[in-house]
Amino acid sequence: MADRPVLVCMRGSLQGSVFPIPEGGLEIGRSPENDVVVDDDGVSRFHARLLYDNGSLWLRDAGSRNGIFVNDKRISDHKALKVGDVIRLGETDLEVRWEETEPDDPEDGGSSSADNSGTSGPAGRRRWFWPFE
């Protein structure tokens, strides 16, 4: 079963690239100091931050000049993300997906049914907070 989200670049200079989102998250921008470096003039040096904490994924605009769009709607501060959401920064589209896993070996009795709904998960998760304010 896939247990962590990834960003898949669907359009732009990184098309086809997959970026696993570690616990703690990723920084996205043009600067080489970011975890995901996007070579796109429409992307700020420090454009956005993803936070992945305790099973919740959040996106925050880092003060970018051109903004961030999630599913074609501009966000001004931060937004909770789910599997299937598409993040647009400049000319780059990144889709949130579950990490691809190899199918389980049928001889082991396993199944390869990955949950792509983005709504299931361990019960009893604590409520997410934004630690940057």
Provide the 10 A C-beta neighbour count for residue 52. 19
For a pLDDT cut of 70, what percent of the chain falls above it?
Answer: 73
Which among 27, 19, 81 is positioned nearest to 50, based on CA atoms? 27
* Phi (first) and psi of residue 80, to 5 degrees: -70, 140
CA distance 26 to 8: 13
70 CB burial (10 A radius; 0-12, 13-18, 19+): middle
Q: 64-103 pLDDT, tens per residue?
A: 889 999 999 999 888 999 999 999 999 999 999 988 655 4
Taking only the tens place, the pLDDT of each residue in 42-53 is 999 999 999 988
Question: Coil, strand or helix: which one is 106?
Answer: helix
Among 15-19, 40-44, 113-117, the least confident range:
113-117
Q: Would you say residue 28 has pLDDT above 80? A: yes
